[in-house]
Structure 1
Amino acid sequence: MTTRSIALLAFTLLLMGTTLGLAGTDLVLPAVPSLPEALGGSPALAQLVLAAFVAGAGLGLVAFGELGARFDPRLLLIGSLAAYASISALCALAPTLELLVALRFLQGLTGAAAAVFAPGMIRQLFEERSAVRAIGLLASVESLVPALAPIAGVWLLHAFGWQGNFLTLAVLAGAVAIAVLVLKDRLPEPQARSLTGGYGRLLADPVYLRYALSHAATLGALLTFVFGAPAVITGPLEGRLADFVTMQVTGIAFFILGANLAGWLADRFGPETMILAGSALSALGALAILAYAVAGGGEPLVIVALFVPMNLGLGFRGPPGFYKAVVASRGDDARGAGLLLLIVLLVAAGGTAAAAPFITQGLAPLALAAAAVSGLSVVLLVALPRLETEMGGP
């Protein structure tokens, strides 16, 4: 096999591993309402099946970031995928809902590894411009998981019962673990370990914070709006759930367009230009929704149209911005990627919590939360210092 073929195969495996980690929530989602009847327990306890996975994933991002700075990420990736497969199989055998919740925490923890290690490995597999394009493709596929995985989950639920969703994750993760094991020696050699400073060094580095926090603010603002939109559209706006689905599908389509154009645009205009322009475009989209809401608007199709710039802007800035954040970690790729992803979760959770008490008051409070967070991204890019070197262009 040629070097390029090996790189593409390795990228495909990293993509599959990351996607399986994300699917741990969305593929299982359709089975949650049936769990109390199957395993006993209450609907409230069944919701913890989702919450436990997210909590485990948050801890996993930090844990694997630290482990990746101390041990060979290739071995950690193989071990985490094997553990994810095993725990997924145990979930299918869980006799009680309480045990399933506990296993889901471990499943989320082990499923976070690929997301932590993929950016650094991609940076080593490809030269800079190709790495930005690869990250754009990775983000595009990841954006489809929340849309497509629940559909697959419904089919699996009807065909095999709730256990089928977990067994599917077990089989696929096991297959990817075996493939990574076979390809291990062809994956990038681990970089020199970075044992000094740890997360504290990254949190004190204004250059790293420029890229990590601005990325988290743009993505966190969009997630805040998405998480609150179903309640607003079907509640105060008296729309239909189909209106939210239309908004999501349209947004994902424009995000994928932007993410796959980002590499070419970064080549032409420079990555820093695209990071700032994408952040500004996303913030303007949120401000436009806020202005429409303050003016008394509530037509779902108008909201769909105004939601487009938020997604397109994230697509433009996402790949070069994420790549820059990993580079700004100065060789500490695993910690840098893990911390960035954790910050995204925290920003989205904080924005959602801030908007939640006002969700029944209409579109304006939700749009205000999204606009405030996305506007912070632009402020951070202007206020904090940038990396000295560019990938190409000014």
Structure 2
Amino acid sequence: MTRRSKPSLLFVLIASGTVLGIAGTDLVLPAVPSLPGQLGGSIELAQLVLAAYAFGTLVGLLAFGELGARFDPCKLLIWSLALFGLASLASAESPSIEWLIALRFAQGAFGSGPAVFAPGFIHGLYPHDKAAAAMGRLGSVESLAPALAPIAGAWLLEFGGWEISFVLLAALSALISAAVFWQRASFPPPSQTVQDHHNYLTILKNLEFLSYASSQALSLGALLVFVFGLPAVLTGPLDKGIEDFVILQVCGIAMFILAANSSAWLAKRFGTLRTIRAGTAIMPCAFLAILAYTLTGASSLYVLVPLWAILNFGFGIRGPIGFHRAISAARGDHSRAAAIVIAAILGVAALGTTAVAPYISVGLWPLAITGAVISGFALLSLVPLRDFD
């Protein structure tokens, strides 16, 4: 069995691994408010269950990025999934909330491996002209996890208590790691183009990579800052229900999936950098349109949904090919490059969310301004680049 004979199967395994890491937060989310009653502690302490996973993910990204440049990524993927499963199982047996917080840090660190290795695997599985389309499909699958996992988590919580989500993550990670082990010979071999003297600083000195990576992190970071603050704004100053947030999310994700699966075709027709710039330019324009509308004092979903869809369309046509171009610019150092981009996305989202938090109670306009500024810098990051398509 050669790796060329089953790219679709390998893609499913790669996508499943990355979705598992995303589900590590979203599947457990509905159980967090009930944790103090089950394990002791306060609701404020329970929030650290989420924060610990995020911090662990950041540490894991950088660690796996370095390891992936030195060792076989397929073997590391197997270890990452297996250790994630063990950490998940141990979390289900936590005797206190303090233990759960510590184990969540480990769970986040181990669960970050698939996201680091996925771009390199896709780059090796598909020709250059098809790799960007595969990244679009991967982004489409990943975008469904934040929408569907909390719903599944709420059902699991009612069915079997807070532990059942962790048990399910452990079982799924065991299945996926076993499948990867079974198919290990079919995975693309490690890149031979990374030099021994390369490190994170070497990549950060690459101006082409820095431009694409900055634009990717800033554009997705802007979107995440808006999403993270949207539920509080809708249910607070706008006096709407959480169902309105669900409507916005469903419409936004649907538009993202449509655009993401069209991005490779658009890049082939109009040029990669031109498509990335066009999609990036749509985002600050959409944020400014939302700002202008909210300043009128209105908040109808009949207007917000189309504007939100346009915003997601902009990121959808630039996201997959932008990520792919950033990884390609690293000249074979896929693991470190992916780790830097994903860590930067988390950093932008965290800093932006922190900056806008004090103003979240006044309405939607602080989120719109923040999104417009961040996505504007994403567009400026592309100025030094030239398109050679």
> What do residues 334-384 of structure 1 show as CA deviations (whole Å, max 9, x unaligned)?
0000100000001111111111111112221111000000111111112x2
Partner of 1:179: 179
Root-mean-square deviation (CA), in Å? 1.3
Shift of 1:310: 1.2
Partner of 2:166: 166
- 1:20 matched to 2:20? The reply is yes
Partner of 1:141: 141
Kept in 2: contact 1:243–1:301 (CA 8 A): no
Matched letter for residue 382 of structure 2: L
Kept in 1: contact 2:3–2:186 (CA 8 A): no
Alpha-carbon separation, structure 2, partners of 1:247 and 1:66:
38
Shift of 1:229: 1.2
Partner of 1:220: 221
Matched letter for residue 334 of structure 1: S
> What do residues 122-158 of structure 1 show as CA deviations (whole Å, max 9, x unaligned)?
0010011221111101100111101101111112112
Q: Which segment drifts farther, 36-45 or 19-28?
A: 36-45
> What do residues 303-355 of structure 1 show as CA deviations (whole Å, max 9, x unaligned)?
22211111001110011111000001111100000100000001111111111
Alpha-carbon separation, structure 2, partners of 1:105 and 1:231:
26
Shift of 1:4: 4.2
Gaps of 5+ in 1: none
Alpha-carbon separation, structure 2, partners of 1:2 and 1:197:
31
Kept in 2: contact 1:52–1:105 (CA 8 A): yes
Shift of 1:300: 3.4
Alpha-carbon separation, structure 2, partners of 1:301 and 1:352:
26
Partner of 1:290: 291
Superposition pairs for residues 271-310 of structure 1, below 5 Å? 271-310=272-311
Alpha-carbon separation, structure 2, partners of 1:40 and 1:361:
34
Matched letter for residue 320 of structure 2: P
Kept in 1: contact 2:256–2:315 (CA 8 A): yes
Alpha-carbon separation, structure 1, partners of 2:175 and 2:17:
10
Matched letter for residue 329 of structure 2: A
**Residues 365, 3 of structure 1: alpha-carbon distance in 2 compared, 3 angstrom cutoff:** same
> What do residues 137-185 of structure 1 show as CA deviations (whole Å, max 9, x unaligned)?
1100111101101111112112221111001000000111111111111
**Residues 338, 65 of structure 1: alpha-carbon distance in 2 compared, 3 angstrom cutoff:** same
Matched letter for residue 113 of structure 1: G
Q: Which segment drifts farther, 36-45 or 82-91?
A: 36-45
Superposition pairs for residues 4-43 of structure 1, below 5 Å? 4-43=4-43
Kept in 2: contact 1:218–1:283 (CA 8 A): no
Kept in 2: contact 1:218–1:373 (CA 8 A): yes
Shift of 1:301: 3.0
Shift of 1:10: 1.0
Shift of 1:280: 0.7
> What do residues 189-243 of structure 1 show as CA deviations (whole Å, max 9, x unaligned)?
1012443241112222210011111011111111111111112122222222221
Identity %: 51
Shift of 1:3: 4.7
Gaps of 5+ in 2: none
Runs of 4+ with deviation above 3 angstroms: 1-5
Matched letter for residue 231 of structure 1: A
Shift of 1:95: 1.1
Q: Which segment drifts farther, 297-306 or 72-81?
A: 297-306
Partner of 1:315: 316
Partner of 2:49: 49
Kept in 2: contact 1:326–1:336 (CA 8 A): yes
Kept in 2: contact 1:207–1:386 (CA 8 A): no
TM-score between the two structures when normalised by the length of structure 2:
0.97
Alpha-carbon separation, structure 2, partners of 1:386 and 1:206:
12
Partner of 1:155: 155
Partner of 1:368: 369
Shift of 1:245: 1.4
Alpha-carbon separation, structure 2, partners of 1:27 and 1:286:
29
TM-score between the two structures when normalised by the length of structure 1:
0.96
Partner of 2:59: 59
Q: Which segment drifts farther, 286-295 or 312-321?
A: 286-295
Kept in 1: contact 2:277–2:379 (CA 8 A): yes
Alpha-carbon separation, structure 1, partners of 2:302 and 2:359:
22
Alpha-carbon separation, structure 2, partners of 1:348 and 1:301:
27
Alpha-carbon separation, structure 2, partners of 1:64 and 1:88:
19
Kept in 2: contact 1:276–1:317 (CA 8 A): yes
Superposition pairs for residues 102-141 of structure 1, below 5 Å? 102-141=102-141
Shift of 1:294: 2.8
How many residues of Structure 1 are paired with residues of Structure 2 in the alignment? 388
Q: Say which SS state the counterpart of residue 214 (structure 2) adopts.
A: helix
Partner of 1:195: 196
Matched letter for residue 113 of structure 2: A
> What do residues 65-124 of structure 1 show as CA deviations (whole Å, max 9, x unaligned)?
011111111111111111001111111111111101100000000000000000011001
Shift of 1:252: 0.6
Kept in 1: contact 2:3–2:185 (CA 8 A): no
Matched letter for residue 123 of structure 2: R
Kept in 2: contact 1:70–1:194 (CA 8 A): no
Shift of 1:2: 6.3
Matched letter for residue 313 of structure 2: L
Kept in 1: contact 2:237–2:362 (CA 8 A): yes
